[in-house]
Amino acid sequence: MTKRWTLLTQFSITTNTQTMKDMLGREDVLTLENAKELLFKSVHFKLLPEVEIEINNSLNKVLSRDIISPEDLPDFTRSTMDGFAVNSSDTFGATEGLPAYLNITGEVLMGKQPALEVKKGETAKIATGGMLPIGADAVVMLEHTNLVSEKLVEVLKPVSPGENTIQKGEDCKINEVVLNKGQRIRPQDIGVLAGIGITKIWTYEKPKVALITTGDEIVPASHPLMPGQVRDINSHTLSGLVEIHGGSAIEKGIFPDRYDVLHKAVEDSFKEADIVVITGGSSVGTKDITAKVINNIGKPGILFHGVSIKPGKPIIVGIVNEKPVFGLPGHPAAVIVCFEVFVKPVLRILSGETEKLHHRLKKTVKAKLSKNISSSAGREDYIRVFLEEKNGELWATPILGKSGLITTIVKADGTIVIPLRKTGLEQGTEVEMELF
């Protein structure tokens, strides 16, 4: 099953695409708002094929069909406490000074339908999870009783109808929609599927994301370093981000800054992947070949090169034969910010996740800024921060450092954003922090 649509129906956008001048006077740097608008207007989201899978392999997959319960859960009324199954009317007015006395006629065995019936003035022993016998409508907790003999019990506290029980169908009823199409499967969702006897479900295939690292100075993480070389950080970081957000990462490797080599790597990646992400080669310079490769492989090519955000300003975003391609800067912090802002929403929607559920999964917390922080007007600044609690209040402390430093991300709990036209935020300002 396939379906096409654009995010014009899912995102509130403006219609005036504005550019801004960067420090070199170029006018091809878009505001973040307009960059997103252009991206979402241009991408055609084609849902991937459905596949039937076992629920034990469904974690983080997206449902392609509603899940309708074939039965009531639970399918019998059961006790939530150890105690005595009673007719609640027999306990009305019971106190420690004036208890109600009930005759014990038997015991409910676990995993079996009770053969006994609780009549007026009678009760039966029951354990947590036991099925309520006919005639009982509540359970008196063991702590609120006093055993007089093997056949007689004092009830020291009254119970109301249904108290200390889970009613038949209280969790979910037969023919009720339990999980919705477009929902990403969580551990608790797997649990409810097992509870209603569903062991196979239909999901969308995971989008495949090809990861290409460029740079003559980049070597694999396992290699010893020679002077001037750096180990590959970005492909490992991106691979984890892709997996977390519902994709399947394909690490294509490290490629030198040569047009012919990169062209073949990107061209091959589009044959097996739904999204291509290239790190490095996005800054303006003699070795900037990423943009040229994207434009020459397919149409329409580059949508924009440069966005007024920090870190991540030199990002490249394009479409090649209806598949999105992202050229991310080489600095680790910029890679993470650009992934969160541009790649993640495309990946999650391409995986079949609905827009409503996607926003519900966004985790934010409000905190006070612990110190003044400045910014340049005309760009959105993504500031790494860590949370700490002082006198019962949450405070966000900026972790300042260049975007090439990976440890600033490791120490951070999330990011805050200084808006486009702000020149900074003052200490004590309440900020919304998006958690990693």
Tens digits of residue pLDDT in 28-69? 689 989 999 999 888 887 889 999 999 999 999 999 999 999
**Does residue 286 surpass a pLDDT of 60?**
no
Q: What is the pLDDT of residue 434?
A: 82
β-pairing, 275-279 vs 208-214, is parallel
Residues with Cβ within 8 Å of 224's Cβ and at least 6 positions away in sequence, in order, are none
Q: What is the DSSP letter of 9?
A: G
β-pairing, 218-219 vs 230-231, is parallel
Q: Mean pLDDT, to the nearest integer, of 207-212?
A: 97
> 131: number of CA atoms within 13 Å, CB side?
15
Q: What is the pLDDT of residue 149?
A: 96
Q: Mean pLDDT, to the nearest integer, of 105-122?
A: 96
Which amino acid, one-letter code, is at 243? Answer: E
Q: What is the pLDDT of residue 181?
A: 94
For residue 335, the Cα-to-chain-centroid distance in whole angstroms is 19
- pLDDT grade, residue 5 (50/70/90)? very low
Q: Mean pLDDT, to the nearest integer, of 291-319?
A: 92
**Does residue 9 surpass a pLDDT of 70?**
no
Q: What is the pLDDT of residue 24?
A: 40
Per the CB < 8 A criterion, the answer to whether 108 and 130 are in contact is: yes
Q: What is the pLDDT of residue 284?
A: 54
- pLDDT grade, residue 7 (50/70/90)? very low
Q: For the chain, which domains are there?
A: 52-73+170-204 (3.90.105.10), 78-166 (2.170.190.11), 206-358 (3.40.980.10), 364-435 (2.40.340.10)
Of residues 400, 432, 399, the one with CA closest to residue 416: 432
**Residues β-bridged to residue 418:** 381
Tens digits of residue pLDDT in 214-239? 988 899 999 999 998 899 999 999 99
Q: What is the pLDDT of residue 123?
A: 98
* Share above pLDDT 90 across residues of the chain, in percent, rounded to a whole number: 61
**Residues β-bridged to residue 305:** 316
**Does residue 17 surpass a pLDDT of 60?**
no
Q: What is the pLDDT of residue 12?
A: 29
**Does residue 119 surpass a pLDDT of 90?**
yes
Where helices occur in 196-247 by DSSP H, the ranges are 234-244
- pLDDT grade, residue 364 (50/70/90)? confident
CA 342, 344, 349, 350 torsion: positive or negative?
Answer: positive
- pLDDT grade, residue 405 (50/70/90)? low
Q: Mean pLDDT, to the nearest integer, of 382-410?
A: 80
Residue count (the chain): 436
| Residue 50 burial by Cβ neighbours in a 10 Å radius (0-12, 13-18, 19+) | middle
Q: Which of 2-11, 46-55, 299-308, 312-321 has the lowest mean pLDDT?
A: 2-11
Q: Mean pLDDT, to the nearest integer, of 410-432?
A: 85
Dist. CA 140–CA 163, nearest whole Å: 8
In the chain the first and final C-alpha atoms are separated, in Å, by 33
Q: What is the pLDDT of residue 401?
A: 74
Q: Mean pLDDT, to the nearest integer, of 414-420?
A: 86
Dist. CA 296–CA 302, nearest whole Å: 10
